């Protein structure tokens, strides 16, 4: 991870390695409890990306562990691509008290601003 967890940017290989090691102890503590965040997965060959969030019961550690295990974390579009070309990053971390509506607006903003919806990106919603 570069410059701490909030500036994380990892390749698929780096993410698998970190997950296999159980993530660094300090990062693991943070990753277990941070529950609201916007995540971007970039396909590095053509620049398309997927913007999503992990919230509720799913912490970022759980999301990144799923990506490390299968490359796609259940995402329909990511399943069709080679996960070795992905780069995983955090876009934003929200305070747990942030209203859901504010998070929805921010997620939608990122999708619009980054043009991440199909056909230019990998988001269907």
**pLDDT for residue 118:** 92
**pLDDT for residue 24:** 60
Instruction: List all residues 6 or more positions away from 27 whose beta carbon is below 8 Å from its beta carbon.
Output: 1, 5, 18
**pLDDT for residue 59:** 67
Calculate the alpha carbon distances from 32 to 35, 55, 118, 119, 122 in Å. 8, 11, 31, 34, 27
Domain boundaries in the chain? 5-113
Whole-model pTM: value is 0.73
**Three-class secondary structure of residue 27 per DSSP:** helix
Helix (H) or strand (E) holding 39: strand 37-43
Phi/psi for 23 (5° steps) reads: 60, 155
Mean pLDDT by 10 residues, the chain (125 residues): 52 72 60 63 89 73 81 87 86 80 90 92 90
Residue 44 CA to its chain's centroid (Å): 15
């Amino acid at each position: 991870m570069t410059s701490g967890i909030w500036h994380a940017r990892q390749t698929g290989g780096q993410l698998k390695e970190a997950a296999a090691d159980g993530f660094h102890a300090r990062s693991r503590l943070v990753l277990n409890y941070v529950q609201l965040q916007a995540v971007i997965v970039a396909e590095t060959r053509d620049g398309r990306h997927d913007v999503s969030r992990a919230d509720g019961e799913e912490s970022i550690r759980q999301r990144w562990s799923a990506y490390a295990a299968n490359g796609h974390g259940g995402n329909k579009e990511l399943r069709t691509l080679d996960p070795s070309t992905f780069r995983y990053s955090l876009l934003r971390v929200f305070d747990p008290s942030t209203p859901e509506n504010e998070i929805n607006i921010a997620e939608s903003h990122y999708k619009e601003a980054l043009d991440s919806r199909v056909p230019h990106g990998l988001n269907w919603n």
